Amino acid sequence: MPPSLTFQEYTTRFEAALEKRPGVRLSRLANGALVARVGNRGPRLAVIAGLHGDETSGPLALLEWVSTAPEPLVPQGVRLWLAPLLNDRGWDAGVRDWDGLDLNRSFLPGRQAPEFLRPLLREWRRRPPAMLLDCHEDLESPGKAYIFRYTKEDHDLPERMAQALGIELCDWTDPGEWPGCSELFARGLGCTRCITLEAPTVWPMAQRIAWNLQALRWSVENLTGLAE
């Protein structure tokens, strides 16, 4: 089912909310998706949402955040790279894919990635983020939110986040399970601090939005001190 806001209405509201804030640089991808950059120095947190058009709570949470959060959006010494809603066609149709293509299997060089997504890939190659937060929803979860944990991590970021948010960890070991996903792409660039969020769709929308906001705020607060 399509969301109450169209893609154009969403991006218009998001852009209007950020235009009021100092130090924000906005650009658009070829499909109209917004990219926002905040801050000039320090480790960079990349946040993406709306890769799957039928997973709406991540984009809506980010819209609420930029519309209501006090200044500054991020503390001094921290940078934010934000793509709040990437899948324009899937969003308006209320479906997962973009023209039959799973965008979270498209973080690959060459023809696999749609044209509008390629500038994003090039930018990350030039300047990989220190941390990635990718917002998703699980349509099959019976009611538990979770984050993925790569079992060969050399840090405890997923454990600390899970404990702070009171949620579960879902372990994975085989990169071959999700070829072309955003997390594997970032890891291939040297960014090992990657968190993929999964909110259960059986939760009311307000609860899903609140949980995404909690994860985002925790990520921003815990970014300070990470190597670039």
Mean per-residue pLDDT, 34-42: 92
Name the token pair of 208: 């899903």
Task: Name the helix (H) or strand (E) containing 151.
Answer: none
Asked if pLDDT for residue 2 goes beyond 70, the answer is no
Q: How many domains does the chain have?
A: 1
Give pTM, 2 decimals. Answer: 0.95
Q: Are strands 194-200 and 168-172 parallel, antiparallel or unpaired?
A: unpaired
Domain membership flag for residue 171:
yes
137 beta partners: 199
CB atoms near residue 68 (< 10 Å)? 9
Domain membership flag for residue 228:
no
Domain membership flag for residue 226:
no
Q: What is the pLDDT of residues 111-143, one digit of tens each?
A: 678 999 999 999 999 999 999 999 999 999 999
Taking the C-alpha atoms of residue 39 and residue 147, their distance in angstroms, rounded to an integer, is 27
Domain membership flag for residue 213:
yes
What CATH number does residue 39 fall under?
A: 3.40.630.10
Taking the C-alpha atoms of residue 153 and residue 131, their distance in angstroms, rounded to an integer, is 13
Asked if pLDDT for residue 9 goes beyond 70, the answer is yes
Domain membership flag for residue 120:
yes
Q: What is the pLDDT of residues 81-103, one digit of tens each?
A: 999 999 999 999 999 999 999 99
Mean per-residue pLDDT, 155-166: 94
Domain membership flag for residue 2:
no
Domain membership flag for residue 30:
yes
136 Rama class: left (phi>0) / alpha (psi -120 to 50) / beta: beta
Q: Which domain holds residue 53?
A: 7-221
Taking the C-alpha atoms of residue 91 and residue 228, their distance in angstroms, rounded to an integer, is 33
**What is the end-to-end Cα distance of the chain in Å, rounded?**
40
Domain membership flag for residue 227:
no
